[in-house]
């Protein structure tokens, strides 16, 4: 790698232009682009583009090879070099901890998926566990710290993005509120860390997986212990004024006035979130409302959301009705959001999507019945295909986008590059 390729740029304006070209290459990375296409998209002359592409090639940030650009075969396609560095991804769940080292399109190079982790042990224990796991992954796979651009962290709580601190997390106890997560990782690794709500990073992974096949206006809904929504607007995540946009679990459902942990009544999460479902089916088992669940209880088997899935497979009428009704509750909130936001796509992820078709029958039925015809005419409703990797993949993409975003490029990338110079290695 030629570490001096950017050195002939003396002013920030030139560096900003290079970063704008790189930004477009990253957006088009799935299919590649050409110098002429870059000139057309940026409005810069072909000679300017050629100079900038040479710089990016010398920096090893892009690669050149044969491929297709706008449907035509071309032997000089330009691609983003996803392996020019890596990111430490940390996905903290209420009951899980996933840690990985990913390349810059979120492909795991090494990963550790830990189940039965209790987030309520508190940030000191959980974050230390994440740091130790990441250090082991780097060591065992001989990945030097100089290759690491930064750390991306997903947390199941509202996050103030600028500070990377959770704000009154309803599902996380043990001192997580306002905890300096960003600083903890920055001190441990000496690299920039970025912290976001777990649903937002899953939405980023989904957009990357969709690549150019989506207009960038979509909703990603996580159905897990809690219910949250990542809002993509014009190809970017929308966080709102304080960073808590998309907290749809606390929109109320008509005809329901149960008290929620948030202090309000009738919240969706209190009916259709994983924790609420578990409580409700345990009540059904104890009160003989489902033959299947009652028989599981009689055999001393745990009554969980998995038991509910087994009840559907066993054709238990009450289990089937319960899941369909849960779909209607979720659909009621989604119908309002579809009317308000007019997304091109609603994608569902999280563990509860394993409850299957009956859940989605309820969701679809309510959305189509209660949304306007124009809002649903081209609406796609689907399940995420990313599974448990969505969090770590999205965390890596978040870091890449923050490091390479044109307004931050001069600060973040040039700092990384300075540290990665062979003569400054310690
Ligand atoms: Zn609530």
Domain ranges of the chain: 12-80, 86-191+389-403, 214-385
What does the pLDDT read at residue 424? Answer: 39
Spacing, Cα 158 to ligand 1 middle (Å)? 13
Spacing, Cα 365 to ligand 1 middle (Å)? 24
Fold of 86-191+389-403: Nucleotidyltransferase; domain 5 (3.30.420)
Spacing, Cα 168 to ligand 1 middle (Å)? 13
Looking at domain 12-80, its CATH class is mainly alpha
Spacing, Cα 172 to ligand 1 middle (Å)? 15
pLDDT grade for 15, boundaries at 50, 70 and 90:
confident
Spacing, Cα 248 to ligand 1 middle (Å)? 9
Residue pLDDT, tens place only, 95-150: 899 999 999 999 999 999 988 889 999 999 999 999 999 999 999 999 999 999 99
Residue pLDDT, tens place only, 52-104: 999 899 989 999 988 776 667 777 889 999 999 999 999 998 889 999 999 99
For residue 176, pLDDT over 60 is answered with yes
Supply the Cα-derived Rg of the chain in whole angstroms: 24
Spacing, Cα 18 to ligand 1 middle (Å)? 46
What does the pLDDT read at residue 2? Answer: 46
Residue pLDDT, tens place only, 32-42: 889 998 999 88
DSSP per-residue letters across 150-196: EEEEEESS-EETTTTEE-S-TT--SS-TT--HHHHHHHHHSS-EEEE
What would the 3-class secondary structure string for 270-336 be? HHHCHHHHHHHHHHHHHCCCCHHHHHHHHCCCCCCHHHHHHHHHCCCHHHHHHHHHHHHHHHHHHHH
What does the pLDDT read at residue 426? Answer: 32
Say if 86-191+389-403 and 214-385 have the same CATH topology. Answer: yes
Rounded distance between C-alpha atoms, residue 396 and residue 82, angstroms: 11
What does the pLDDT read at residue 422? Answer: 54
What does the pLDDT read at residue 399? Answer: 95
**Tokens matching residue 242:** 């304080």
- Asked whether the beta carbons of 316 and 293 are under 8 A apart, the reply is yes
What does the pLDDT read at residue 11? Answer: 65
Spacing, Cα 267 to ligand 1 middle (Å)? 5
User: SS3 of 133, please?
Assistant: helix
Rounded distance between C-alpha atoms, residue 107 and residue 100, angstroms: 9
Spacing, Cα 336 to ligand 1 middle (Å)? 17
Chain mean position to CA 13: 32
What does the pLDDT read at residue 32? Answer: 80
Spacing, Cα 239 to ligand 1 middle (Å)? 19
The answer for 270, left when phi > 0, alpha when psi is -120 to 50, beta otherwise, is alpha
Spacing, Cα 262 to ligand 1 middle (Å)? 4
Residue pLDDT, tens place only, 24-34: 888 887 778 89
Rounded distance between C-alpha atoms, residue 368 and residue 188, angstroms: 49
Rounded distance between C-alpha atoms, residue 25 and residue 29, angstroms: 6
Average pLDDT over residues 222-245: 90
Tokens 């390729």, residue located:
5
Residue pLDDT, tens place only, 203-228: 999 998 886 667 889 999 999 888 99
More confident call, 315 vs 172: 315
Spacing, Cα 78 to ligand 1 middle (Å)? 48
Name the DSSP class of 387: G
Average pLDDT over residues 384-388: 87
User: SS3 of 245, please?
Assistant: coil
Spacing, Cα 372 to ligand 1 middle (Å)? 27
What does the pLDDT read at residue 243? Answer: 80
Closest-CA residue to 395 (of 26, 186, 149, 90)? 90
Spacing, Cα 378 to ligand 1 middle (Å)? 31
Spacing, Cα 60 to ligand 1 middle (Å)? 49
pLDDT grade for 278, boundaries at 50, 70 and 90:
very high
What does the pLDDT read at residue 69? Answer: 66
Closest-CA residue to 202 (of 40, 386, 51, 345)? 386
Rounded distance between C-alpha atoms, residue 371 and residue 382, angstroms: 17
* Average predicted confidence (pLDDT) for the chain: 89
Rounded distance between C-alpha atoms, residue 329 and residue 323, angstroms: 10
Strand 193-197, strand 148-155: pairing: parallel
What does the pLDDT read at residue 357? Answer: 93
CATH number corresponding to 214-385? 3.30.420.40
**Residues surrounding ion ligand 1 at CB below 5 Å:** 250, 260, 262, 264, 267
Tokens 């909130």, residue located:
333
Sign of the Cα torsion 323, 327, 328, 330 reads positive
Closest-CA residue to 222 (of 209, 211, 231, 233)? 231
For residue 279, pLDDT over 60 is answered with yes
């Amino acid at each position: 790698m030629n570490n001096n390729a950017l050195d002939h740029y003396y002013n920030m304006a030139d560096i900003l232009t290079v970063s704008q070209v790189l930004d477009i290459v990253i957006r088009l990375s799935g299919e590649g682009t050409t110098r002429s296409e870059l000139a057309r998209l940026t409005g810069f002359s072909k000679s300017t583009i050629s100079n900038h592409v040479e710089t990016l090639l010398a920096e090893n940030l892009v690669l050149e090879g044969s491929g297709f650009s706008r449907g035509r075969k071309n032997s000089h396609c330009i691609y983003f070099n996803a392996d020019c560095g890596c990111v430490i991804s940390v996905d903290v769940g209420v009951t899980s901890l996933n840690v990985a080292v990913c390349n810059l399109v979120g492909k795991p190079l090494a990963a550790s998926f830990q189940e039965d982790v209790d987030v309520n042990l508190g940030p000191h224990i959980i974050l230390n566990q994440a740091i130790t796991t990441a250090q082991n992954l780097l060591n065992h796979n001989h990945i030097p710290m100089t290759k690491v651009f930064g750390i991306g962290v997903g947390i199941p709580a509202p996050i103030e993005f600028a500070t990377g601190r959770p704000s009154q997390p309803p599902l996380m106890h043990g001192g997580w509120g306002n905890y300096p997560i960003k600083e903890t990782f920055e001190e441990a690794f000496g690299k920039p860390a970025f912290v976001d709500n777990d649903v937002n990073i899953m939405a980023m992974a989904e957009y990357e997986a969709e690549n150019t096949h989506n207009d960038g206006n979509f909703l990603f809904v996580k159905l897990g212990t809690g219910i949250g929504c990542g809002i993509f607007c014009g190809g970017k995540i929308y966080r709102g004024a304080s960073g808590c946009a998309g907290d749809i679990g606390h929109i109320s459902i008509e005809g329901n006035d149960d008290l929620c942990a948030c202090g309000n009544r009738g919240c969706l999460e209190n009916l259709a979130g994983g924790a609420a479902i578990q409580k409700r089916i345990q009540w059904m088992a104890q009160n003989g409302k489902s033959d299947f669940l009652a028989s599981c209880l009689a055999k001393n088997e745990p009554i969980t959301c998995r038991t509910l899935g087994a009840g559907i497979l066993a054709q238990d009428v009450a289990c089937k009705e319960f899941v369909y009704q849960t779909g209607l509750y979720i659909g009621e909130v989604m119908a309002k959001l579809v009317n308000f936001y007019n997304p091109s796509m609603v994608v569902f992820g999280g563990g509860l999507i394993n409850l299957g078709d009956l859940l989605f029958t309820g969701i679809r039925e309510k959305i189509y019945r209660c949304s306007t015809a124009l809002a649903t005419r081209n609406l796609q409703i689907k399940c995420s295909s990313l599974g448990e990797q969505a969090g770590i993949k999205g965390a890596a993409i978040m870091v890449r986008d923050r490091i390479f975003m044109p307004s931050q490029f001069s600060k973040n990338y040039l700092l990384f590059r300075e540290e990665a110079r062979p003569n400054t290695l310690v």
